[in-house]
Structure 1
Amino acid sequence: MIFFLWFESFIWFHQQKQPTMSEQKNKQLKIIFLSSEGAGHINACVGLAQELAKCGHEIYFFNKPSNIGQFEKLGFKEIILHENAVVDDTDKKQVKTDNKDDNDQGKLRETIIKSNLLADLSPYDQLDVFDRHKNKNFFGFAIINDIRKIHEQIQQSLSEQKPDLVIVDYILIPPCIAYGQIPWAYLCSHNPLHLFNSQLLPPITSGLPTDNRSGWADFYDKFRKTYQSSLQYCQNELNKHYQCPEVNKNQFLFLSPHFNIYGYPEQLDYTDIITLPENVVRLDGFCRQQSTTTTDDNDNKTFELPENIKTRLSDTVKLIYFSLGTFGSTNVTLMQKILNELAGCPHQIIVSTGQSHQQLSLSENMYGQSYLPQMSILPLVDLVITHGGNNTVTETMSYGKPMIVMPLFADQHDNAQRIMEKGFGYRINPHRFESNQLIQLIQQILLDKIMIERCTNAGDLIRKSNSKWKACTKIEKLLNNKKE
């Protein structure tokens, strides 16, 4: 059973700002974000933080020394957490870290590569990668170590800053937040199956259909024994270290008793099967906005199509965007296999090459860079080929583009299945597609007027839904209810 203390009162600031999107005069809240490393987590937190800032709230981000300025350049304040804790020798046997790379995202990337997550495994077999008994590189061990290094500073900062709310996008929750007196919310930047964990829905990370339960029972059984059990172990290791109670054995993620947040388009969501609890805040997607203040090249540049690509486009030659995400792009062999297949495609292709840029060979119908401003590219293209990361899926949906999803691991399988079920694209195994299969699928989608119209209409509805502002309003309401 999870024990927690409800807070006694909020700290309200004397200054009051008028929300830019609302006529309501809410008092300014101080909100601190704690995000996992990785572009998907950070972008989701930034997207929500931007909307909360528009509503007049004061936004802080916990940050590491290696990333100083990352959030400040977007207009947020930063609280720098220095990794100065020492891990006991007994813990080193269970907690594996790599100190060769000072960049935190580089460490996470290397952990994922070592863990075999990018290998050609079925979702069922991938559960072994999430089993701490079978995988010495299980990422939970590294997160335990990371949290222990900064836990004391987080606790001290919360005591000094006295925020009204802490929003956490971390697979493990620091005990000083989970059992503290300050209200907190879990931000789920994954497919919402992670948040729901309902027996009415397919198992998390399975990629199984919602309308056919064959395979559910076996997957659920293995999931509980591997991923769920391993995460519980890691959370309990943290809890015991800080003299906090163990977590509920039936839970997967450590959810907040206050409220929880997720982003997923209504057109894809599972609300046709389950009913959301009152303390769940849903929005169509976190979709971060381009900064209007920073001069940083990566974050603030618009995208101009290269002339050699632009001049080739026509009614029959379309524009495609291809990305396997931050981690998927590190699999050079797989990336090159897909690029070689796309070389025979009659259309023009923009390629997000990631950190493997120098190792990849692009054909004449392609343009690629290690970093591309995805939000500026999506409005320009006719089709997106993606790994199925939650941010890319929700952002692509918001611009009304059909997708071919090539899932690699975890919730990407669930997103791929849901997109296919709801008629917004197709899924294909990135490791095992046959020659010409991908190109045929591209042609099929580009000629499917019904699917294209369905995607366009969904994008129009999402952009008009104002769901981020509505989510912020609900967050304010939930906090006010707690105060009363």
Structure 2
Amino acid sequence: MSEQKNKQLKIIFLSSEGAGHINACVGLAQELAKCGHEIYFFNKPSNIGQFEKLGFKEIILHENAVVDDTDDAKKQVKTDNKDDDDQGKLRETIIKSNLLADLSPYDQLDVFDRHKNKNFFGFSMINDIRKVHEQIRQSLSEQKPDLVIVDYILIPPCIAYGQIPWAYLCSHNPLHLFNSQLLPPITSGLPTDNRSGWADFYDKFRKTYQSSLQYCQNELNKHYQCPEVNKNQFLFLSPHFNIYGYPEQLDYTDIITLPENVVRLDGFCRQQSTTTTDDNDNKTFELPENIKTRLSDTVKLIYFSLGTFGSTNVTLMQKILNELAGCPHQIIVSTGQSHQQLSLSENMYGQSYLPQMSILPLVDLVITHGGNNTVTETMSYGKPMIVMPLFADQHDNAQRIMEKGFGYRINPHRFESNQLIQLIQQIFSDKIMIERCTNAGNLIRKSNSKWKACKKIEKLLNNNKE
């Protein structure tokens, strides 16, 4: 108990737009707050209150602000009050980028090539950061936090090269963080025990995704007269420490050894479902009566979600739903914003937004796109998975889940008729897999890994001051 009475720290989070990133930051922020620390979030005017309702303080960044430097005594921020729907912009970028199309992980690297894709997300990130960079710098100067935690692929130079300790929070598969030649290439979905294909993927990855991301970071750095980033590194990592959430049962620590300044936890699992879109996500979930009455020892409950972006591919969603219509089990469907365009069968119940953290304890199986939050949250409740990866680290998560025996991987675009239903039945008949998942969930929930991570963060900050 004496450890929890350490000096209260002031910690500011900067999160990318997108429910996955925000939920990861919120999950860690909740635990840090429980440890007695003061938590702030940088936020946009269009989302005012989303962090306050969770008990955190907000620092509002006006996207189109211009700083008037003529008054040195008091710099005033002016804005044209045009608050963009950032989640909508990101969704539109994903759709335009062709990431949701039927492409192999290798071919998807072209989407992450700034030379081939004029809509490469890094370009808009440069503009977004430049719009708020001076406000971030001023806020850090005024607030004087003890730590800044960033879940953003590009790092604002005022944070990266400032005087305040900062940490990169990796809400992706940790291959993004490790950058080790002992492990498969990032976003490849290649196995860890077979190096066939590694070399070709690594070569293209460096020439496309890695090169393009470094270009964008260096464009920011040059604009603010800061040095270029290390060309051998994919992400711009903190020299202080970095944080990631991934269950020990899935992690790659059976292959590599983590540096001392890496903070690992089993998952960022927030205490209640939080998104940027609907307050209903914070409510508990009541299983519909017509679904509940059909459940039995032989009729199970399945949760299906392709995530915020995957659900925008209506054709793909309907293809999977049509296949699941022939399933003898009951299915809860997260339909996303395309709810009105989808047709659900009698064995299904669906809503645009569902409180995932309330649903997971109720189900017997999860069919997912393999986003990092969904994977870690599902693991924490001990449920097997069928992963239908669409892009990026979803391929890596799908492969790791299959390798470690917690589920199966299937191509969402190319599965054959009845293949998905056969996998479902195979899992429900696999008592060893179900027991493995249950045991893993019990261990994760008992591990207290978030609290341990907070204690390590406190220790690393103290060491940094010394």
| Matched-pair contact (CA < 8 Å) for 1:294–1:300 | no
Alpha-carbon displacement from aligned partner over 1:83-108 (angstroms, at most 9, x marks no partner): 12579999x99999999982100000
* 1:81-480 equivalent positions in 2, closer than 5 A: 81-85=61-65, 102-290=84-272, 297-480=279-462
1:69 has 2:49 as partner: yes
Change (3 A) 1:103 1:93: farther
Distance in 2 between residues matched to 1:61 and 1:187, nearest whole Å: 14
Change (3 A) 1:461 1:148: same
Change (3 A) 1:58 1:323: same
Change (3 A) 1:266 1:302: same
Distance in 2 between residues matched to 1:68 and 1:386, nearest whole Å: 30
Change (3 A) 1:292 1:448: closer
Change (3 A) 1:188 1:27: same
Shift of 1:395: 0.1
Alpha-carbon displacement from aligned partner over 1:67-91 (angstroms, at most 9, x marks no partner): 000100000000000012579999x
| Matched-pair contact (CA < 8 Å) for 2:62–2:79 | no
| Matched-pair contact (CA < 8 Å) for 1:95–1:144 | no
CA RMSD in angstroms comes to: 3.9
Shift of 1:25: 2.0
Distance in 2 between residues matched to 1:288 and 1:48, nearest whole Å: 7
Shift of 1:267: 0.1
Of 80-89 and 309-318, more deviation after overlay is shown by 80-89
Shift of 1:290: 1.9
Shift of 1:292: 12
Shift of 1:24: 3.8
Change (3 A) 1:209 1:94: farther
Change (3 A) 1:461 1:335: same
Secondary structure of 1:23's aligned partner: helix
Change (3 A) 1:70 1:294: closer
Change (3 A) 1:440 1:467: same
Secondary structure of 1:62's aligned partner: strand
Alpha-carbon displacement from aligned partner over 1:382-422 (angstroms, at most 9, x marks no partner): 00000000000000000000000000000000000000000
Distance in 2 between residues matched to 1:89 and 1:113, nearest whole Å: 39
Change (3 A) 1:121 1:291: closer
Change (3 A) 1:296 1:37: closer
Change (3 A) 1:26 1:304: same
| Matched-pair contact (CA < 8 Å) for 1:339–1:362 | yes
Shift of 1:297: 3.8
Change (3 A) 1:61 1:94: closer
| Matched-pair contact (CA < 8 Å) for 2:45–2:83 | no
Alpha-carbon displacement from aligned partner over 1:440-483 (angstroms, at most 9, x marks no partner): 00000011000000000000000000000000000000000011
Secondary structure of 1:191's aligned partner: coil
Alpha-carbon displacement from aligned partner over 1:191-230 (angstroms, at most 9, x marks no partner): 0000001000000000000000000000000000000000
Distance in 2 between residues matched to 1:73 and 1:101, nearest whole Å: 20
Secondary structure of 2:84's aligned partner: coil
Change (3 A) 1:125 1:96: farther
Alpha-carbon displacement from aligned partner over 1:357-390 (angstroms, at most 9, x marks no partner): 1111100000000000000000000000000000
| Matched-pair contact (CA < 8 Å) for 2:105–2:391 | yes
Shift of 1:141: 0.4
| Matched-pair contact (CA < 8 Å) for 2:66–2:79 | no
Distance in 2 between residues matched to 1:425 and 1:60, nearest whole Å: 38
Secondary structure of 2:77's aligned partner: coil
The percentage of aligned residue pairs carrying the same residue is: 98
Change (3 A) 1:340 1:439: same
Task: Provide structure 2 residue ranges, at least 5 long, that are not aligned to the other structure.
Answer: none
Runs of 4+ off more than 3 Å: 21-24, 85-90, 92-101, 291-297
Corresponding position of 1:9: none
| Matched-pair contact (CA < 8 Å) for 2:304–2:367 | yes
Secondary structure of 2:2's aligned partner: coil
Secondary structure of 1:95's aligned partner: strand
Change (3 A) 1:95 1:224: farther
| Matched-pair contact (CA < 8 Å) for 1:98–1:107 | no
| Matched-pair contact (CA < 8 Å) for 1:321–1:349 | yes
| Matched-pair contact (CA < 8 Å) for 1:47–1:288 | yes
Change (3 A) 1:160 1:97: closer
Task: Provide structure 1 residue ranges, at least 5 long, that are not aligned to the other structure.
Answer: 1-20
Change (3 A) 1:60 1:42: same
Distance in 2 between residues matched to 1:217 and 1:390, nearest whole Å: 25
Shift of 1:187: 0.0
Secondary structure of 1:199's aligned partner: coil
Change (3 A) 1:437 1:99: farther
| Matched-pair contact (CA < 8 Å) for 1:96–1:137 | no
Distance in 2 between residues matched to 1:145 and 1:213, nearest whole Å: 38
Change (3 A) 1:454 1:291: closer
| Matched-pair contact (CA < 8 Å) for 2:110–2:208 | yes
| Matched-pair contact (CA < 8 Å) for 2:63–2:83 | no
Distance in 2 between residues matched to 1:97 and 1:219, nearest whole Å: 44
| Matched-pair contact (CA < 8 Å) for 2:46–2:83 | no
Of 426-435 and 21-30, more deviation after overlay is shown by 21-30
Shift of 1:118: 0.5
